[in-house]
Amino acid sequence: MPRPIHAVIHQPALANNLDVIRARAPDSRVWAVVKANAYGHGIRRAFAGLRATDGFGLLDLNEAVLLRELGWQGPILLLEGFFQPQDVALLEEYRLTAAIHGEEQLRMLELARPKGPLAIQLKMNTGMNRLGFRPDQYRAAWERARALPCVGSIVHMTHFSDADGERGIAHQLEVFDAATVNLPGEASLSNSAATLWHPAAHRAWVRPGIALYGASPSGRHADIADLGLMPAMSLHSELIAVQELKAGDTVGYGSLFTATEPMRIGIVACGYADGYPRHARGWGDDAAPVVVDGVRTRLVGRVSMDMLCVDLTPCPKARVGSPVTLWGHELPIDEVAAASDTVGYELMCALAPRVPVSVATLTTADAPAH
């Protein structure tokens, strides 16, 4: 028998989430962002669920090639563009759209002189201060790109720092619109948060990532609870032992949890080497939630490499072999992330290679239903 931990990738949830996003931004085409191996879901597994998209956005040339091997004929956007002069030939070979975010990339294009026509997305730094031409340099960069015989089309691109937060996007949108005034071309601005919450930024293309996987850009599940998004990844295991504690007994490394009265705890075959966050809280009022035997309970003690412990007080029938959900349909990943001072993005991306993964396909009758 293998260790009972396993993850499930739900293709119907991915397809549903793409539909939800299309309904939020009905006039935009969608770059489905599948960087980081589709946020830990696996590009191969995610592909069937997302193939109704208009294009895929990612970072790695290898991932782009994989999509072509899977049969994807449509657009593929390299969100960080390319890194070496020799990559330029691959843009042509695999028909990739490259973000061009800096002087060095523009220079590489000018020197490589590919035949083209290449589609590019010229990136402006409107305040995020990671990638992009400064607003006052943008027009000159656009003129240079347009003058290149290999460049077929140029989409204007920027990225928001606070589309999920209080500051919002108005200050960046203002900078973007001012710097592109009278420049022809489509625009691509919105991550998931702007796609869900800032229609003014939808434009020709949106670039959602996290919402496709059914988690919240803000890290707060409440922010997406009513949108109809469904979790695309679930992580499951089982109890492999049960312990009876007396008052004063402690649990796990560092003895971070102390029983105040007699209680039962369950030991789950899942630890940080599986991708469950070690810094999840296993004490106090805001301990991480865990579902055991269909009942919501809480983490106790520190997460170890291969195991974690749960309070069995609310689930008196639980025994060795009882099913455990770490996150998924009955337990939003955002809630586990919040109890670990991080966001769902990080938990998904950290799913460890040792965890066996199965796929609930688009035709499976027991696909999750809301």
Ligand X SMILES: *Cc1c(COP(=O)(O)O)cnc(C)c1O
Query: Binding marks (x or -) toward ligand X, 85..124, rule CB under 6 A?
Result: ----------------------------------------
Cα distance between residue 33 and residue 19, in whole Å: 15
Among 37, 53, 192, 218, binds ligand X (CB under 6 A): 192
Report the amino acid identity of residue 209.
G
Q: What DSSP character marks residue 229?
A: -
* Closest alpha carbon to 14 in 36, 32, 37, 27: 32
Subset of residues 274 to 303 that bind ligand X, contact rule: CB under 6 A: none
Q: Per rule CB under 6 A, is residue 207 in the interface with ligand X?
A: yes
Cα distance between residue 173 and residue 182, in whole Å: 15
Asked if 253 and 335 count as a contact pair (C-beta separation under 8 A), the reply is no
Closest to ligand X by CB, 79 or 318: 79
Query: Which amino acids are annotated as binding site for substrate, given as ranges?
Result: 130, 305
Closest to ligand X by CB, 187 or 210: 210
Q: Per rule CB under 6 A, is residue 24 in the interface with ligand X?
A: no
Instruction: Mark the segment that binds ligand X (CB under 6 A) among 20-28, 206-214, 249-257, 263-271.
Output: 206-214
Q: What DSSP character marks residue 80?
A: T
Asked if 186 and 27 count as a contact pair (C-beta separation under 8 A), the reply is no
Q: What's the min distance (Å) between Cβ of 130 and ligand X?
A: 9
Cα distance between residue 237 and residue 84, in whole Å: 43
Q: Give the CA distances from residue 332 to residues 56, 211, 273, in Å, rounded to whole numbers and listed in that order.
A: 25, 13, 21
Query: Binding marks (x or -) toward ligand X, 31..60, rule CB under 6 A?
Result: --x-x-------------------------
Q: What's the min distance (Å) between Cβ of 321 and ligand X?
A: 37
* Cα end-to-end span (Å), the chain: 32
Among 55, 81, 127, 209, binds ligand X (CB under 6 A): 209
Q: What's the min distance (Å) between Cβ of 325 and ligand X?
A: 23
Number of residues that bind ligand X (CB under 6 A): 11
Closest to ligand X by CB, 197 or 283: 197
Closest to ligand X by CB, 209 or 301: 209
Asked if 201 and 187 count as a contact pair (C-beta separation under 8 A), the reply is no
Q: Per rule CB under 6 A, is residue 217 in the interface with ligand X?
A: yes
Checking DSSP bridges between strand 263-268 and strand 289-292, what pairing results, if any? unpaired
Among 210, 224, 235, 312, binds ligand X (CB under 6 A): 210
* Closest alpha carbon to 160 in 204, 206, 122, 226: 206
Residue 123 is among the residues annotated as catalytic for this protein: no
Instruction: Mark the segment that binds ligand X (CB under 6 A) among 7-15, 62-70, 201-209, 262-270.
Output: 201-209
From 94, 115, 123, 253, active-site residue? 253
Query: Binding marks (x or -) toward ligand X, 122..161, rule CB under 6 A?
Result: -------------------------------------x--
Rounded to 5 degrees, what are φ and ψ at 77? -105, 125
Cα distance between residue 306 and residue 211, in whole Å: 30
Among 40, 135, 208, 328, binds ligand X (CB under 6 A): 208
**Three-state secondary structure call for residue 222:** helix
Q: Per rule CB under 6 A, is residue 191 in the interface with ligand X?
A: yes
Residue 253 is among the residues annotated as catalytic for this protein: yes
Spell out the residues 6+ positions from residue 28 whose beta carbon is closer than 8 angstroms to its own.
190, 195, 202, 203, 204, 205, 206
Compute the 3-state secondary structure of the chain and give helix, strand, coil in percent, each to the nearest 5: 30, 25, 45
Q: Per rule CB under 6 A, is residue 79 in the interface with ligand X?
A: yes
Active site residues: 35, 253
Q: Which residues bind ligand X (CB under 6 A)?
A: 33, 35, 79, 159, 191-192, 207-210, 217
